[in-house]
Structure 1
Amino acid sequence: MTGYTVIGANGFVGSHVVDHLRGRGIEPFCPVRDDPRLWDRDLGRIFYCAGLTGDYRSRPFATVEAHVALLARLLERARFDRIVYLSSTRLYGSQAGGEGRETLPIAVDAGDHEHLYELSKLLGENLTLHRSDGRGVVARLSYVFGWDDRAEGFLSEWLRRAAREREISLDSSPGYARDYIHIDDVVVALKALLDRGPAGIVNVARGETVSNVQLAELFAAQGWRIAFTRGNDGGSAGERIDAARLVALGMAARPILPLISGFLDGLK
């Protein structure tokens, strides 16, 4: 049986991948930093979950190492069957109209220091697609959330606070909206892409945006009081992510509002 390797197993997504595999009786190889075993064993199917998000500006060299350099060494030297490289739908943020479809070219500016994240992720995608001998697939993840202590991001923190507080003030605007996807749906999709998915790029997303207003109304209906510190100026509507390819592969993510409603029910 082909084994699995999780690069970045201590991170938010990577640790949930490990849990998912172990829950099915599969013990993955989880290399540590600079692990020499990467080069003397068959890595099987690789989940490449290494990466930086919020701190990429202050750690530019670590960002390039995680998004590109380690990946390049693996593709050049390691023995493996397939690899799924985790990228992000935030790459679509620079698109005119904010449209997020896998086939569209991505516009970036090498002269803009803010584009280090996008440039490094795109280079990682290019290597995965064109230097893996057809064994690579790119998963562009939308805004992943959860409610355990490992979960990262705005919505995850909101949900954790809901477990402690009934009145919550959030540093955001009512119009802020994102395409959210639950971590469990992400993990299922990643394994399916690695096991039987096609080569190429796949948006791992719900395919719909949910606004702070919608979320606040849901919380209010369940007995919470939500306030926002920023004005109701429309906020950021987020990118419109096309999840049709994921759906066509039979891996549609679950609707977000019913998931959160069920979570809040469990807190009562």
Structure 2
Amino acid sequence: MGRLATIVGAGGFVGRRLHARLESEGWQVSAPAKGDPGLFARDLGVVFYCAGLTADYDARPFDTVEAHATLVSEIARAGRFERLVYLSSTRLYDGQAKAEVGEDEPLVFDPRDPRRVYDLSKALGENITLCRTGGRGAVARLANVYDWEAGAPGFLSEWLIRAASERALQLQSSPHVRRDYIHLDDVVAALVAMGRGEPAGIVNVASGELVSNGEIAEVFRAAGWKVTFTGDAAPPPPPNARADRLRALGVEPRPVKDVVRGYLEGLKA
């Protein structure tokens, strides 16, 4: 029987794909239901902590704190795991006034901003994972994760899903918005690598490249799609998260434009 893994949040976007990947590689995977009373009383093996709130965190601040910090604190307190991989976000760098950041950068938050409940609760989850697990914790800071499976969240995911049935796309955004995008399968490869190896501290699970909506739109246009945007704002880009540690794990994130190009070619075939 393979190694034991427990996925907290196995029903979510990342958790579902991770579950399938681990099972395909022979892991024994446990996917406890929310509120499972036995979670703290049994051996969990390698814990992948995928639980969290994204789009509705501002409307549900107390649920956000529970999902990002309270439950992982209880898992750490019980201590019945081999290692703990906690999923966080590169959006924690958004307070940095720098063009490029690495994992060792101190984070900057304004606690008076109510929308920082996401960042602060994730940072607390990171602190518990790194400092209260006896050296058995690691943090994966995810950039903007995308895919084209039904219901995949996020701006680019929705764009790709619409492309399967629409050739003329009007998008509620600006061509000048820049983000770091990483495909879901590359994220899962990174998490599996972190689960297999020794805890690696904090790892940016990102492509290491900021790409604008306009650049991606050009890939669509070259493949035969029409793309327009409703806005023209040019907000400052977020700091670019370096991906050297991810590559050191043996994971080479694919450039978003290459992945999108291949996906569109498949739709045309």
TM tier, smaller: over 0.9
Q: Supply the distance in 2 between the matched residues of 1:9 and 1:134 (Cα, whole angstroms).
A: 24
What is aligned with 2:42?
A: 41
Where 1:127 maps in the other structure, the secondary structure is: helix
Q: Supply the distance in 1 between the matched residues of 2:53 and 2:96 (Cα, whole angstroms).
A: 22
What is aligned with 2:62?
A: 61
What is aligned with 1:238?
A: 238
The amino acid across from 1:171 in the alignment is: Q
Where 2:39 maps in the other structure, the secondary structure is: helix
Q: Supply the distance in 2 between the matched residues of 1:200 and 1:65 (Cα, whole angstroms).
A: 23
What is aligned with 1:253?
A: 253
Q: Supply the distance in 1 between the matched residues of 2:91 and 2:100 (Cα, whole angstroms).
A: 11
Q: Supply the distance in 1 between the matched residues of 2:266 and 2:236 (Cα, whole angstroms).
A: 30
Deviations 1:207-240 (A, max 9, x none): 0011111111100000000000002x43443331
The amino acid across from 1:13 in the alignment is: V
Q: Supply the distance in 2 between the matched residues of 1:189 and 1:78 (Cα, whole angstroms).
A: 24
- Verify the 8 A CA contact 1:174 1:235 in the aligned structure 2: no
1:207-218 mapped onto 2 (5 Å cutoff): 207-218=208-219
- Verify the 8 A CA contact 1:92 1:98 in the aligned structure 2: no
**Would you say how many aligned residue pairs link Structure 1 and Structure 2?**
267
Percent of pairs identical after alignment? 51
1:2-21 mapped onto 2 (5 Å cutoff): 2-21=3-22
In structure 2, the CA distance between the partners of 1:249 and 1:27, relative to structure 1 (3 Å rule), is closer
Where 1:201 maps in the other structure, the secondary structure is: strand
Where 1:194 maps in the other structure, the secondary structure is: helix
- Verify the 8 A CA contact 2:3 2:28 in the aligned structure 1: no
RMSD of equivalent CA atoms: 1.2
TM-score (norm 1): 0.96
The amino acid across from 2:265 in the alignment is: D
What is aligned with 2:263?
A: 263
The amino acid across from 1:9 in the alignment is: A
What is aligned with 1:106?
A: 107
Tell me which moved more, 253-262 or 235-244.
Answer: 235-244
Q: Supply the distance in 1 between the matched residues of 2:227 and 2:118 (Cα, whole angstroms).
A: 32
Where 1:203 maps in the other structure, the secondary structure is: strand
Q: Supply the distance in 1 between the matched residues of 2:126 and 2:26 (Cα, whole angstroms).
A: 30
Which segments of 5 or more consecutive residues in structure 2 lack a partner in the other structure?
Answer: none
- Verify the 8 A CA contact 2:87 2:139 in the aligned structure 1: yes
